[in-house]
Copies of this chain bind each other. A is one copy, B any other.
Amino acid sequence: MPNHSFPILTVDIVLLTMIDGRLKVALMERDKEPERGCWGLVGGFVHVDEDEDSSAAAMRILREKLRFSPGHLEQVVTEANAHRDPRGWSASIVHLALNEPSVLEVLGQREGLKLFDVHDDGARLPGNLAFDHSILILKAVDRLRAKAAYSTICCHLLPETFLLAEMQEIYEGVLGKKINPANFRRKVLDAHVLDPVGLRSSSGRPAQAYRLARPLDYFERQIA
């Protein structure tokens, strides 16, 4: 394996979802060197002849490795240094991808993907994580948490339509604290970012279901 005189350019995707109020990251067991047998992020090289830009590269890699398109994809940070990859000087453009859990649970059975709990600064991640991927995961999760209280970003962890109680559970999981339901309702509805789409019944009074009308990067008011 030669030491490149060009830096390596890769894209890594931190695939997150939430199950039972806990954030989960989807990792693949690496079947090639380096770090064969370790758990790692879904990622790959940029292909200069195929990829229009870095997010297109991320989409292609997800399509090729998982046959799947994420609900939400955004660039988080670029981790670039001499020592993170034994093959040479390496830059990874790290992306955050958010999805409702059902999609990833299905993929887990078909594609050798596994979901790991992301909590307490990665304490529950597997011990044999490839490269600096534990750092990349934490940076992506930090970004999600930072945006949560002031944006609708967490709605991408929900299905197309959802109840306020479900949305609240997601925000509680991401922010790591309980939220008062009455206040949460008031703030979210006052922001006019949700469209009502009919009722849904369960084990009590039926609840209004909503759809995200317009994704909002920055609320005026803090949502939680």
Q: Which A residues are within 8 Å of any B CB, using their own CB?
A: 4-7, 9, 46, 48, 51-54, 75, 77-78, 80-82, 88-89, 91, 93
Q: Is the CB of B81 within 8 A of A78?
A: no
A-B contact pairs, 7 of them (CB 8 A): A7-B46, A46-B91, A48-B82, A52-B81, A54-B78, A78-B78, A80-B93
Q: Is the CB of B53 within 8 A of A82?
A: yes
Interface core residue of A52, A53, A80, A91 (most chain B CB under 10 Å): A80
Instruction: Give the residues in chain B near A91, CB-CB below 8 Å.
Output: 9, 46, 54, 78, 91, 93
Bound-state Cα–Cα, A129 to B111, Å: 47
Q: Is the CB of A80 within 8 A of B54?
A: yes
Q: Is the CB of A80 within 8 A of B46?
A: yes
Beyond the given A51-B89, A53-B80, please list 15 additional residue pairs across the A-B interface where CB-CB is below 8 A.
A4-B6, A4-B48, A5-B48, A6-B6, A6-B48, A7-B9, A46-B91, A48-B88, A52-B81, A53-B82, A54-B78, A54-B80, A75-B77, A75-B78, A80-B93
Copies in the complex: 2
Bound-state Cα–Cα, A46 to B4, Å: 13
Bound-state Cα–Cα, A150 to B7, Å: 36
Bound-state Cα–Cα, A48 to B85, Å: 13
Choice from B46, B53, B54, B89 contacting A46 with Cβ under 8 Å: B89
**What's the minimum C-beta distance from A124 to chain B, rounded to whole angstroms?**
26
Specify the chain B residue showing the minimal Cβ separation from A53.
B81
Interface core residue of A54, A78, A82 (most chain B CB under 10 Å): A78
Instruction: Give the residues in chain B near A80, CB-CB below 8 Å.
Output: 9, 46, 53-54, 93
Q: Is the CB of B93 within 8 A of A48?
A: no
Interface core residue of A54, A89, A93 (most chain B CB under 10 Å): A89
Bound-state Cα–Cα, A4 to B6, Å: 10
**What's the minimum C-beta distance from A139 to chain B, rounded to whole angstroms?**
11
